[in-house]
Amino acid sequence: MPDFLNDLFLIFQRFNWLSAIDIFLVTLIFFGLLHMLRDTQAMVLLRGILFLVVLIALLTSMVNMPAFSWLVRTTLPALLLAIPVIFAPEIRRALERIGRAGTFIPVGPKSAAVEMQETIHGVVSAATRLSARQHGALIILQHLDNLDEYVQTGVQMQAKVTPELLLQVFYPNTPLHDGAAIIARSKLIAAACVMPLSASGILTRSPERQMGLRHRAALGISEVSDAVAVVVSEESGAISVAHSGRLIRRLDPERLENILNAFYRPETLTRRRNLIERFFPYLFPRKDE
């Protein structure tokens, strides 16, 4: 016990502000990794790896087993090389999020914010009416990431977003109702698009059975891009929103509109453009010049 107290005292004696920063950075990295892997199948793999590491460490330290210790030392480098392969999807998503963190939202004309607000109103109105009729729908709103590879899988539309158009697209047994409608730059770019299905275990762990392929597709596109997916369940009529691999369920029209406004913030884009126009007027020449 005295030796332990002496060692502890030496540790605190050598502790300085650089040590605090060092510990904080390591803690931050582990927190980011655990937060990134939360609610994914990789979290189960990570628990299994940690359990094996702890078990092997206890066996090799408490019991003298030369052959087993040699086997662990030999296979450990191979296991370290296998980690990037096992967690490849999670690592890819993390790098994409880091890349998006330094991306600036392009400043468009003043009318762009108004058009986006009208688009959000149209999506909310259509989702509300589709929910009342229990017509299934999947609407993808593009943000910064390009969705051209998914647009190519559907039928090109290039139409103004209106509730009536979305109601017609997702009317049962019509040619365009099966698939996703992609909205970009306040336009309905394409319909009947094929989305990637989610590989996470969020839906499989849910006790409810109202979530099928549409919800898996909504989660899938939110996992590989920063798009926002609005889903209307065909079985229950419930409205959900998927973003960054998370699903928000049972939304009413008011909350749905608030969530979409929070993601796209058209009023923030207008204020940003006005500020830039004030200090850099030459970037926005007037029509009468």
- What are 218-222's contacts with CB under 8 Å, separation 24+? 218/138, 218/140, 218/242, 218/247, 219/245, 219/247, 220/195, 220/196, 221/140, 221/147, 221/150, 221/180, 221/195, 221/196, 222/246
pLDDT at 60 over 70: yes
pLDDT at 37 over 70: no
172, 182, 266: which is closest to 221 by C-alpha? Answer: 182
Mean pLDDT value across residues 213-238: 90
Under the banding of pLDDT at 50, 70 and 90, the label for residue 254 is very high
| Cβ neighbours around 60 below 10 Å, total | 15
Homologous superfamily (CATH) for 111-274: DNA integrity scanning protein, DisA, N-terminal domain (3.40.1700.10)
pLDDT of residue 223: 84
Q: Give tens-digit pLDDT for 166-187.
A: 999 999 988 898 899 999 988 9
Domain assignments of the chain as residue spans, ordered by start? 2-101, 111-274
Q: How far apart are CA 219 and CA 139, in angstroms?
A: 12
pLDDT of residue 287: 42
| Spatial contact of 197 and 213, defined as CB atoms under 8 Å apart | yes
pLDDT at 158 over 60: yes
259, 222, 260: which is closest to 97 by C-alpha? Answer: 222
SS3 91: helix
pLDDT at 284 over 50: no
Mean pLDDT value across residues 146-157: 91
| Spatial contact of 273 and 107, defined as CB atoms under 8 Å apart | yes
Q: Give tens-digit pLDDT for 101-133.
A: 544 444 455 466 778 888 999 999 999 999 999
pLDDT of residue 53: 75
pLDDT of residue 105: 45
Mean pLDDT value across residues 56-82: 75
Q: What is the mean pLDDT of the chain?
A: 78
pLDDT at 260 over 80: yes
Q: Which of 33-42, 46-55, 149-158 has the highest mean pLDDT?
A: 149-158
pLDDT of residue 89: 65
